[in-house]
Each structure stands twice: as structure tokens, then as C-alpha cells.
Amino acid sequence: MALSLTINGTTHNVDVEPETPLLWVIRDEVGLTGTKYGCGAARCGSCTVHVDGQPAKSCQLQAASVVGKKITTIEGLSPDGNHPVQVAWREVGVPQCGYCQSGQIMSAAALLARTRNPSENEIEQAMSDNLCRCGTYLRIKAGIRRAAQLGV
């Protein structure tokens, strides 16, 4: 079935089954590989994208459910990699292995878009669905605080 999806401001006509997970459409049909497969059960956050500005786990989101919505992946967050969260991530040295970082960054960017100066509790709640195998949680929090200083 042909579906029309708007990803990073570009319309993509894809021929997939309506229930195909958005993650696989993004990666396999559109060719954007920044969004990662982690657990496939919406538990780790590696596949986080924005749908109409809200963080969403793309591994469990059916492609047909996002027709007519604005989808943003890590590649679309900032064309040159200079979104304040990305800048802060580099300044603070957040990533260790880096696998979860696109999902972490997308969740952090959504948090800061709705709460300019989040409390520790707000950061913890917003990031609680994102797992980091390397345990860089303190650096992730520091990166979010730094991004808040830089302004989103």
C-alpha cells in the first residue's frame, strides 16, 4: 500500500504495509539510519523520533498512524548538527558508545522545547524511557542542563 509520510520536511511516498513500524520505513525505505533499533518493544528509546513535536518510539508506531503528521528524525533536528542539544552533547562529552544517543538527543530536544529550564525531576521523568547501556546518565543530565543554558 502506498503511504505518504512527511519526514524531516520532505514528503516520501512509500509502498509498505500500513502496520509496518515507522522505524523500518525511516531506515529501510527512506534510508535515514540515525534512528536506531534497540529492543523493538518501545522500552529502550533508541528509536525515538518526534511526531508533531512529541517524542515517539518508532519501533512500535505503525506507519499508517503517522500519515499527515510531521515526523522528525535525528537527521532533521538540525541540518548542520548545531541544535543546542547536539552542541551541548559535544561540549559535555555525553556519548560513550553512542548507540542510544540519537534517541537520547531527540527526547532531550522534546523536553527542552516544552520546558526551557527543566528541574532535575523533570529531566529524570522525560528521560526515564531512554536506556543507556554505558551508564552515561550523569553526562546526559549535564548535557540537558547545558543545552538549556544555550537556549533551544
In the chain, the domains with their CATH numbers are 2-74 (3.10.20.30), 84-150 (1.10.150.120)
H-state helical runs in the chain: 22-24, 74-77, 84-92, 101-114, 120-127, 137-150
Instruction: Give tens-digit pLDDT for 13-61.
Output: 999 999 999 999 999 999 999 999 999 999 999 999 999 999 999 999 9
Model confidence pTM above 0.85: yes
Per-residue pLDDT tens for 85-124? 999 999 999 999 989 999 999 999 999 999 999 999 999 9
Q: What is the dihedral of CA 54, 34, 85, 112, to 10 degrees?
A: 10
Q: Give the CA count within 13 Å in the CB-facing half-sphere of 35.
A: 34
